[in-house]
Amino acid sequence: MSSIPLDLAKDLEVREVEAALLRAAKQARAYAAQTHTAIIVVRNGQIIKETFPVPDEIKSS
């Protein structure tokens, strides 16, 4: 496996992978917030459950 940064890769598609992953993560978080669903992520080797605030109208039901 190469240790060359993705943004220096010769293949254009490989250079765009990081941006695509960031867009996908942003979209996943937005969808999880809309559906009040937690998502699981790995940060610094730790498994973390991300939850999103529940809107006021749902809290009062």
Position 42 confidence tier, pLDDT thresholds 50, 70, 90: very high
Residue 38 placed within a domain: yes
Structure-block tokens of residue 59: 């809290």
Residue 19 placed within a domain: yes
Residue 3 placed within a domain: no
Number of domains in the chain: 1
Residue 60 placed within a domain: no
pLDDT digits (tens, 9 = 90+) for 7-39: 777 777 878 888 899 999 999 999 999 998 999
DSSP lists the bridge partners of residue 43 as 46
- Does pTM top 0.85 for this prediction? no
Residue 38 domain boundaries = 9-55
CB 39 within 8 A of CB 50: yes
